[in-house]
Structure 1
Amino acid sequence: MEEKLRELEAQRLVILAEQKKYNKRAIPFFVIGAIGFLLGIAFPDTGALFMVIGFVLIIIGAIVASIGYKHIAQFNQMFKSNLITSLLKANYDNVTYEPKGHIPLDVFLKTGLTRKPDRWRGEDFISGEKNGVKFQVSEFHLEDRHVRRDSKGNTYVTYETFFKGRFFMFEFKRIFKHDLRISEKGLLNISFNNFGLKKIETESIAFNKKFSVLTGDDQHAFYIITPVMLEEIQRIERLFKGTIALLFQGNRLYVAINDNKNTLEPNIKVPLTGQSLDYYLVDILIMQEMIHAFDLDGSKFMEIHEWVISVI
């Protein structure tokens, strides 16, 4: 790990220097191009040529600057394929990491933890196993399409983000007959369909104020959300700046975290040291943290007792 870190740090320094070099080369094109635009505005009768020259120079500047950013994209790819993959394999079994892959969107939508987007993208697919609990994770960026028309009949299309975060799937051995859905109140990204579930309240007033609980069976719900589970859900929620929603269904737990964060992305300006890895470990160890917090590797979820299943 230390050797990989040193190699990546050396590459980071080279690429950062290259980016700065191309940025400096692009600055004169941007400056002269901006002057051309200003001259065109100042002299509207004869400034058309200045406007054209300014536009061309700005385009050239953008092309020059993009060459430097192309090197950054290559560094990001090396960072993920080497360092992130190594960190994942050091903490989980049977790891697969595909930076450009994702969980199928339909899987996410069927949970009702989000609504259907007009435009979307996914990345950073991870699958692995911890203490017998299998999991899959990927990032999603979901957007709504908005169309606006002005008084002159011109049409403007914009896209607004309503979910940007991670979607988790944990698979355990026990299969439960009833669904249990837990979500923070006021979530705008969640589906409005209750899927035939009814609302219940827990014994925690603080939890009831912050979360909404829907279930297909009261006994099943209270079997899962014990006082300890309520505390752990609130603790996990506090780890993120955004909102959280959970669904226990069959032998899976689905978790959606909408925190407007793009995880596992390196910052080319930050030196790669052992201490800087802590920033990435938070997002890598969260799967382990959830498995432990919700006791997914404990007897309640991993041991199959026919009498329990028949009751639940």
Structure 2
Amino acid sequence: MDLREINNKKKRLEGFMIFGGAITGISFISFIANPVFMIGFIAGGLIMAITGSQFKKLSTDFKAIHVKKIIEDEIKGIDYDPKKGFEKEVVYGSKILKKEDRYYSEDYLSGVMKDKKFACADVKLQDVRSNGKSTTVVTVFQGRFFMIDFEKKFENDVYIMPNLSIGFNWFSELQRVDLESIAFNKLYDVFSVDKHSAFYLLKPAFMEKLIEFRSVAKRVMFGFKDNQVYIALDTRIDSFDLRMFREIDQTFFEEIKKEIKLIEELIDLIPA
């Protein structure tokens, strides 16, 4: 399917979404006066749900052809699979993200860059909360998860979390380490078995890089474990996905290239 066909189908689906939304809205307002309009409300909701499902499929087809080509042409030796993701055991095993009720992962990138093996993918974690009468689904994390090989094994695990992270209390054996940089301590909390491991890793130059990097995402988490570096960026964005009512233009493709650039920046960020 070429870009013209994808754009045409995208516009048709956007039209259906507007139509379904209009039916739902009008029926909801009219339901107050006449309950029979509940039928229209349900029908509109179904149209929107089916359209959303078809739009997701179109997005996957688009990524499998066009995004894959852009990524693999940009840097040789990188593989991209829009349907593949990290196994949940890998993500939870990093210990920088807490296990939640629902787990999703897709848009898997892997390869070698700057002599370092890496893998990354979108991850979404959702917490299902129920009070007996109603159920609420809360997205706890949505963003990009990275795993980068490190040449040498870290003596002890070190975790760098956003300051005052809620829920980061499942490491009873770890201690919180305060560093000399006040600016760094305001942004991040550091955890390790002993403070010497943290001090050895977090040299002033590395801390400055981490302070600058904080602007990339809402929340940034790092785990230095064995010979792997794990990074989670809570961006609240689905990478590479088509979006309703947004053009597939040059800006869209530039954002794909920015993702590749981000991997390079992360590899450069890690101290040698």
Cα distance change on mapping 1:77 and 1:93 into 2, 3 Å: same
Q: Distance in 2 between matches of 1:66 and 1:156?
A: 21
Tell me by how many angstroms 1:204 deviates: 1.4
Counterpart residue identity of residue 244, structure 1: V
Q: Deviations over 1:13-33 (max 9, x none)?
A: 311442355457657855875
Q: Distance in 1 between matches of 2:111 and 2:24?
A: 47
Q: Give 2:7's aligned residue.
A: 13
Given that 1:18 and 1:68 are in contact with CA atoms closer than 8 Å, whether structure 2 keeps it comes out as no
Given that 1:98 and 1:124 are in contact with CA atoms closer than 8 Å, whether structure 2 keeps it comes out as yes
Q: What is the RMSD of the two structures over their aligned residues, measured on CA atoms?
A: 2.8
Percent identical across equivalent pairs? 22
Tell me by how many angstroms 1:93 deviates: 4.4
Q: Give 2:213's aligned residue.
A: 236
1:124-135 aligned at under 5 Å gives the runs 124-135=107-118
Cα distance change on mapping 1:66 and 1:15 into 2, 3 Å: farther
1:15-164 aligned at under 5 Å gives the runs 15-19=9-13, 22=16, 30=24, 33=27, 37-40=31-34, 51-52=35-36, 54-64=37-47, 68-69=51-52, 71-149=54-132, 155-164=133-142
Given that 2:21 and 2:45 are in contact with CA atoms closer than 8 Å, whether structure 1 keeps it comes out as no
Counterpart residue identity of residue 140, structure 2: F
Match of 2:204 among 187, 208, 227: 227
TM-score where L is the length of structure 2 = 0.85
Counterpart residue identity of residue 192, structure 2: T
Given that 1:264 and 1:283 are in contact with CA atoms closer than 8 Å, whether structure 2 keeps it comes out as no
Cα distance change on mapping 1:219 and 1:63 into 2, 3 Å: closer
Cα distance change on mapping 1:250 and 1:31 into 2, 3 Å: closer
Q: Distance in 2 between matches of 1:31 and 1:147?
A: 27
Instruction: Give the 3-state SS of the residue equivalent to 1:278 in structure 2.
Output: helix
Mark the runs of 5 or more structure 2 residues left unpaired by the alignment. none
Q: Distance in 2 between matches of 1:210 and 1:23?
A: 41
Tell me by how many angstroms 1:254 deviates: 0.6
Counterpart residue identity of residue 14, structure 1: N
Given that 1:187 and 1:243 are in contact with CA atoms closer than 8 Å, whether structure 2 keeps it comes out as no
Q: Distance in 2 between matches of 1:203 and 1:194?
A: 23
Q: Give 2:226's aligned residue.
A: 250
Instruction: Give the 3-state SS of the residue equivalent to 2:99 in structure 1.
Output: coil
TM-score where L is the length of structure 1 = 0.75
Mark the runs of 5 or more structure 1 residues left unpaired by the alignment. 41-50, 150-154, 301-312
Q: Distance in 2 between matches of 1:263 and 1:159?
A: 21
Instruction: Give the 3-state SS of the residue equivalent to 2:231 in structure 1.
Output: strand
